Structure 1
Amino acid sequence: MLSVSVNASMPPKLPPKSPTDKSKLKVASTDPVSEFHPGTPKKKKNKSSQLSIDPAATDDGGSAGEQTMVLDTASVFPWLQCAPCPVPPCHPQADTLYDPALSSTSGTFSCNSSACRQLGPFANGCANNQCQYRVRYPDGSTTMGTYVSDVMTLTPTRVISKFQFGCSHFAQGRSINTLTVGTMGLGSGSESLVSQGKGSYGNAFSYCIPPTASTTGFFLLGVPPASSSRYVVTPMVKGKLNPALYVVRLQAITVAGQQLSVPPTIFAAGSVMDSRAPITRLPPTAYQALRSAFRSRMTMYRAAPPKEHLDTCYDFTGVSSIRLPKIALVFDRNAAVELDPSGILFDGCLAFTSTSDDRDTGIIGNVQQRTIEVVYDVGGGAMAFRRAAC
C-alpha cells in the first residue's frame, strides 16, 4: 500500500492495496495517449478453428487491434470510432477500426436498460432499440453513436469485463484528436475507466507525460508501488464548474527561488488538473506577476511576436543552450512541485496564460506536467506528485 503525505499529522486517505498495471504513454499533438485492446476475437472460420491472436478491433487481414486513445482527466465518457464509420463524418485513423461484429463479447444496451437510463446528459435517444449517446465538448466538438460494452484488455493478464463505452459513428470538431481513435475519459464519473475499474484497481490512477513525442511515459491504474517519501501531496477540493473535474488549490508560485507577490486568496477558485489541455491558465493577477518575473530573467534572449494567446515568446535561432529560470507551483499543504524545463516553454513561448477574471477556476495543463508523475487518489481525495518520473 502506498502511503504518501507531507503532513504526518494529517495523512491523506488512500485506497486499499490493489493490483496495478502500467502501460506506455505517448504524446500526439500535445495530447497524452495510451493503447487499449477492446473485444474478444471470434473464432476464425478455418479447419483449425483456432482463436485469432488479435483482439476484435481488426480487419480481415488480421492487423493488430491496439487502439490508441487520448487520456482525458477532464471528461468522463470513453468512446472510440467503430465500424461503420465513413470519413466524414468520422476522421481517418492510423489504428484499424474497431468492429464490434468481430468480437464474441461485444454487446449493445436496449433503450429501457438501466445503463441507458443512467446516461443522463450523454443520452441521445434510440435507434433500432439500441441505446444511443452523444458527447458534446465545450468548444462544440461532438461524437455520437451507440452505447456498447465489451471486454477491455489493459495487459495480457488484466481485463475489465463488460466495459461500457461509446461506439462512435460521428466524430468531428476542433478538440477531436484525429491522430487517435477516440478518448478515454478518466474524470470522476460513473462512466469513466477509473470508476469502471475501481473494483479491481482501487479508485486511483497515475500517469507521467513524457517531455517529447520521441520519449515514453506511463499510465497506471491503481496505487503506485513506490515509496511515500518520493511524493508531495495536496488535497483535492470541490470545484465550481463540474463535480467530474479534479481540482486542487495553488498557494504560491516561485520563479528562480523567489515567491511571487500574489496573495493566496487569488487562487481561491482552485485549478483543474487537466491531462488534455496543454497550457496552464492562471488568474490574471498571478499570471501578470509570473510573466514579469520570467521576462526579467530572460532579457538575454530576443523577444518574438506573440503566438495566439501566448504573449511571452522568444526567438532562439542560433541559440545552442537555453537557460531558463526555475519555476515551482506550490499547492495547498505546501506541496511544492518544481517544473521540468520541458514544462516551461511551448513553441518558444512561456507556456502559461491567464483566465478572464481572478475569480475564475484555473487550469494546470499537460505541458507543465511533463516528466512528473501525477497520482489521482480519487477515493482518498488527494493528489500526489513525483518529479523526474519519466
Structure 2
Amino acid sequence: MPASFNKYFSYCLPSSASSPGYITIGKTADNGIKNKFLKFTPLTTKPQDKELYGIVVTGISVGGKNLSVKSSDYMKSGAIIDSGITFAYLPQKAYITLENSFVKQGRVELELDVKRILSIINQNNKHYACLAFRASTDKTEPLILGNVQQRATDVHYDVAGGKVGFGPGGCS
C-alpha cells in the first residue's frame, strides 16, 4: 500500500438517493484538476479526539450578512466535520441567532442550496421543511458540520498537508 494511502481521501455525498456519489482513497490524477477549484481550510486536532477531523469555524452568514456571533463562540468546544452526522450542530447562541436570522430573511437566496439548508420530512402524509441545523445540548459538545451541509460538494482531506478542501461541481 502506498504511504499516501491514508493521508489523502475525498468524497462527495449525493444530494438524493437517486444521485451518484463517490469516495476516493489516495491521490489521483483527477485530484489535481479538482484542486484548483477547492477552497482549503486547516485541519485541527485535539489530543483526545485524534480520530476526528477538526476544523476552524469563524462565522456564518445568512443572506450575505454575518451573524452577530463572535468567532470565539463557535470554537469554545471546538468544531469537527463529520460525514456520519446528519445535521449541523451549533452552540446554543449561534443556533438561536441563525434561526432568528433565517426567519427574518425568508426567501433570500443563500449560497447553500435548499437541500443543504432544509430537510424535508414526511409525517402523517404531510411534508414539513425543517432547518437542517440543531442546537447543541451540551456546552462541551463541539460544533459539527454534518452531512446535509456537505451534500453535492467535493470534500478533500489532505491529512498530510493538514487541510480539508471544499469544492463546487456536485459529485460528477
TM category, shorter: 0.7 to 0.9
Structure 2 gaps, min length 5 = 121-128
Tell me whether 1:290 sits opposite 2:94 in the alignment: no
Decide which structure has the larger Cα Rg and report it: 1
Q: Decide whether aligned partners of structure 1 residues 256 and 246 sit closer, same or farther in structure 2, where only a CA change above 3 A counts.
A: same
Q: Is the 8 A contact 1:204 1:375 kept in 2?
A: yes
The 2-side partners of 1:202 and 1:361 are apart by 25
Q: Counterpart of 1:251? A: 58
Q: Decide whether aligned partners of structure 1 residues 257 and 204 sit closer, same or farther in structure 2, where only a CA change above 3 A counts.
A: same
Shift of 1:284: 0.8
Q: Counterpart of 1:360? A: 141
Q: Is the 8 A contact 1:266 1:358 kept in 2?
A: no
Percent of aligned pairs with the same residue? Answer: 35
The 2-side partners of 1:325 and 1:289 are apart by 18
Higher RCO, 1 vs 2 (CA within 8 Å, ≥6 residues apart): 2
Structure 1 gaps, min length 5 = 1-196, 299-322, 327-337
Q: Decide whether aligned partners of structure 1 residues 198 and 273 sit closer, same or farther in structure 2, where only a CA change above 3 A counts.
A: farther
Amino acid corresponding to residue 22 of structure 2 in structure 1: F
Q: Decide whether aligned partners of structure 1 residues 199 and 240 sit closer, same or farther in structure 2, where only a CA change above 3 A counts.
A: closer
Q: May I ask how many residue pairs the two structures share in their alignment?
A: 159
The 1-side partners of 2:80 and 2:51 are apart by 10
Shift of 1:198: 5.1
Shift of 1:243: 1.1
Q: Is the 8 A contact 1:285 1:358 kept in 2?
A: no
Moved over 2 A (4+): 197-202, 338-341, 356-360
SS at match of 2:61: strand
Task: Give CA-to-partner distance per residue, 1:6-63, whole Å, 9 cap, x none.
Answer: xxxxxxxxxxxxxxxxxxxxxxxxxxxxxxxxxxxxxxxxxxxxxxxxxxxxxxxxxx
Amino acid corresponding to residue 366 of structure 1 in structure 2: N
SS at match of 1:368: helix
The 2-side partners of 1:378 and 1:251 are apart by 21
Q: Counterpart of 1:230? A: 37
SS at match of 2:59: strand
The 2-side partners of 1:203 and 1:239 are apart by 18
The 2-side partners of 1:275 and 1:387 are apart by 17
